Structure 1
């Protein structure tokens, strides 16, 4: 719920423009209000709220606009415009007094050395106060102290510090301190009290380990380190401070696992404290580290790690496991702003299972499914969260949904076909704007999603469905037929052709038995004449060849009469149609095949019985097969008797 008249506002960036939506309450739909900004543009690359929510900035491909947010029902006036048409990233300072813009580094004919692509503007006036070349896109963001008195960034592996106590113009004129200088160095300023603690990472080289050192600004000498942690197998490190700036987590990773054990490389988690303590975080399961998050209360952190199904565990500042969330298909963790609720989710290449946990009571509140989620963010009130399907990760079924932590769906908007949702972001609020919500298992009333839900019923094969219904599956199987309906019996067509040939050529009819397996020479001797070889190759005949002469016709007639009259010793002697004398061979082969088939089934049943005697649980179809043993035995006995 909104507090003190604060209305939750959601900034939306899409392929058609930038707009802000709000809702009057949990049961009211989110929609664009007339008093909220809206601009149609196809070139918006970034949107950003200031940490206190007083300013909203976005790029439109022509310039960067900074708006001053207002209360409900009031217009958002334009604060300033910045001449950065190619701005790719926008980032406010901790108190919202400065805005940093970054764009891709480019070389032109007019400026072959390249123009500065990282610029800092003063929000109150819109004046540019600092510009520098920053080619690194991954770690482009500069570091600020909580009171904005120190500005620092890494250029070429060297950390540059600027003191702004005397004003931005004088402070950005020259660097006050430098540290590092080796290629690949990284810097991170801790939040909390000022002067801040800072961490500087130096990658290892030539067999030397990588190293991360803690300093207390402005004491940056080599002998003034507060804590130091060295480790091997670290091509890259991600530094995560807790909210108080008293603890630092290092997520180290390598791109390639030289041992070949993991496709994802190697990951490890290390802990450093401003009191000088350092240790490696113990992980009880092998596999990659998917996510590391600090609790907003700054006294605990959560790690999701291991091969799927991954494990999730909650650690204290001594790196001891205080609670194990068990295993599940998840790779993300999100604490609400108060740290009393945490969401464990499986996004990306996982199906989108979401678990909501009460951190204080260590119990699960609910489970829900948020498929195809590419963006997740808690609302500042700590009760709602938004999930979105955005481009370019997914270009279809774009949209966003707002949930209550109990799992109730409060709002759903699906993007029109042909348009793409690029990003959503909650408006931030100053501290103490919302009271810490009281966690309850009571589920709030929500709306029904318009998206189809996949069936949770497991697929059951047809034969198992029939068994559950008490039916015999074999009765529903198609029975083999002797002939195909509508066609003559097998071999009838061939016999008809042979009979027609026999009528037209008696000599060929008498020679067929020899061709079917008899001795052709012996049969020719019995017939009393040797048949001349027949040339079956196709030849083109002339008209004279087609019309035989009278002498040829008489000779053919005499040969036919001689062939039709058998010798005296052959009259009345029966002759076998099959020269080998195996007229019943086809039926014997069929019986042998059936016997082998039944014997194999009985052998399978014997194996199933052995598995059943060992205590193994069999499937329904396997139990049904065992019940058919008696029938198979009778069938085998009948086949052997008829053989």
Structure 2
């Protein structure tokens, strides 16, 4: 169960310690006062895993007492199972020693020890548990291996399809398997269902060359949006490569979603409803609403934005422009789709709604930003509630998973906000000249007095030498009369 309380808790991991800040009054509780390289809350919020110089520790979040401690070196990544009973750790590979280990968090003993040398951080976690943590799935070469915990040998090795990456539905027995291009065969997306005898393929879609895909499941994990990406745009129009979007539904299987021409910047499902938002197109990008079948419902706005964040209740959505954009943040009310809040948080690396669904944090973190590390907490209206600047490097900020009672917004809190667009002014310039120039140009005469530059000096001019006196012109004598 998630922690049930009505006080926000925010975890901050710096170079020297891990702190938990209770509430917005900045009451600190130092959980770990030494160098920490990684930390992770379980999904239910009952446990906190920490990696230090000596190994891995698991703490109970109610009082931060130690539940498990193991000595391991070079641990870099962590992952909890759905029920927090198991913890997965990944270490830098050293020869043939196991570096991917599944731990039992109650006893601190390793359940499985595997070797995984080839690894991309973007593909973490490489071990996926089912909903009740009785089985886990892992890719072995081009095969998919399914283990039943704690049996040492795989329950099933699926090799009918070459597996590049796979995605598990958390609430059904469905899998999506992506097969990358090989020898010009093209890429494929396969929909499979797990049965008592193995995996059965129910649908397949051939797509053009794709380097990676992301799968986003809806609230009941029966529908999925599949985001296909390549690093290179063959047309040369986009720096972000080529993107395409597909949707899987039990009724229509697989079909392409029509988005605005250009790169896709972000896609997010409403956590409590069968609808999703897509930001796509060249900047200024277009933000659109789509229904459960992938058909466009409405256009929200056309602006410089690339990030979508829903609160956990699906009542508010944050649409922002981070990264190489200016950090503009818009908050929309889902019921009316009016903008009810706006603020600006430049240099934001991490942004997330709090568990109450009415405040959010925007943080500037290492290693992306080495200066001005800190975080700000904003209300959904854009009002700044807390600003904290860290004197040392800030590496991570995260809300403690908790259960808050849903409190709907009152009509007075849904008033639409109108953002005034400011004219661009170059850095270091003053607006006086521009205003004067415009006034003269629009005056009745409409004539500008142009001062011509002086002529250039002669080629034999010596810098610093006084200029030669101007020669007086001799007046011509008038001829005498009568001559």
TM range, normalised to the smaller chain?
0.7 to 0.9
The match for 1:68 is 60
Give the C-alpha shift of residue 317 in structure 1. 1.3
**Counterpart secondary structure, 2:436:** helix
The match for 1:389 is 364
The match for 1:218 is 195
**C-alpha distance in structure 1 between counterparts of 2:66 and 2:128, whole Å:** 27
**Counterpart secondary structure, 2:300:** strand
Aligned residues: CA RMSD: 3.2
1:309 to 1:219, Cα distance in 2 relative to 1, 3 A: farther
1:379 to 1:467, Cα distance in 2 relative to 1, 3 A: closer
For 1:503-514, list aligned pairs within 5 A.
Answer: none
Which runs of 5 or more residues in structure 2 are unaligned?
415-421, 456-463, 476-483
**RCO comparison, higher one (Cα < 8 Å, 6+):** 2
1:467 to 1:15, Cα distance in 2 relative to 1, 3 A: same
Find the partner of 2:99 among 113, 117, 123.
117
> Which has the larger Rg?
1
**C-alpha distance in structure 2 between counterparts of 1:323 and 1:157, whole Å:** 41
**C-alpha distance in structure 2 between counterparts of 1:103 and 1:67, whole Å:** 20
Alignment check: 8 A CA contact 1:354 1:367 kept = yes
Give the C-alpha shift of residue 305 in structure 1. 0.8
For 1:181-330, list aligned pairs within 5 A.
Answer: 185-193=164-172, 196-218=173-195, 224-275=200-251, 277-283=253-259, 285-330=260-305
The match for 1:39 is 33
1:183 to 1:420, Cα distance in 2 relative to 1, 3 A: farther
Alignment check: 8 A CA contact 2:179 2:189 kept = yes
TM-score (norm: length of structure 2):
0.85
Q: Quick check: 1:30 aligned with 2:26?
A: yes
**C-alpha distance in structure 2 between counterparts of 1:468 and 1:440, whole Å:** 47
For 1:157-176, list aligned pairs within 5 A.
Answer: 157-164=142-149, 168=150, 171=151, 173-176=152-155
**Counterpart secondary structure, 1:462:** helix
Give the C-alpha shift of residue 88 in structure 1. 0.6
1:177 to 1:398, Cα distance in 2 relative to 1, 3 A: same
Higher helix share: 1
**C-alpha distance in structure 2 between counterparts of 1:421 and 1:346, whole Å:** 22
Find the partner of 2:139 among 133, 146, 154.
154
**How many matched pairs?**
449
1:341 to 1:467, Cα distance in 2 relative to 1, 3 A: closer
Alignment check: 8 A CA contact 2:309 2:319 kept = yes
Alignment check: 8 A CA contact 1:247 1:271 kept = yes
For 1:73-152, list aligned pairs within 5 A.
Answer: 75-107=63-95, 114-134=96-116, 135-138=118-121, 139-141=123-125, 142-152=127-137
TM-score (norm: length of structure 1):
0.65
Alignment check: 8 A CA contact 2:9 2:399 kept = yes
**Counterpart secondary structure, 1:372:** coil
**C-alpha distance in structure 1 between counterparts of 2:32 and 2:18, whole Å:** 6
Higher strand share: 2
Cα deviation code 1:282-322 (max 9, x no counterpart):
11x22111111111124011111111001111111111111
**C-alpha distance in structure 1 between counterparts of 2:136 and 2:4, whole Å:** 34
The match for 2:460 is none
1:131 to 1:396, Cα distance in 2 relative to 1, 3 A: same
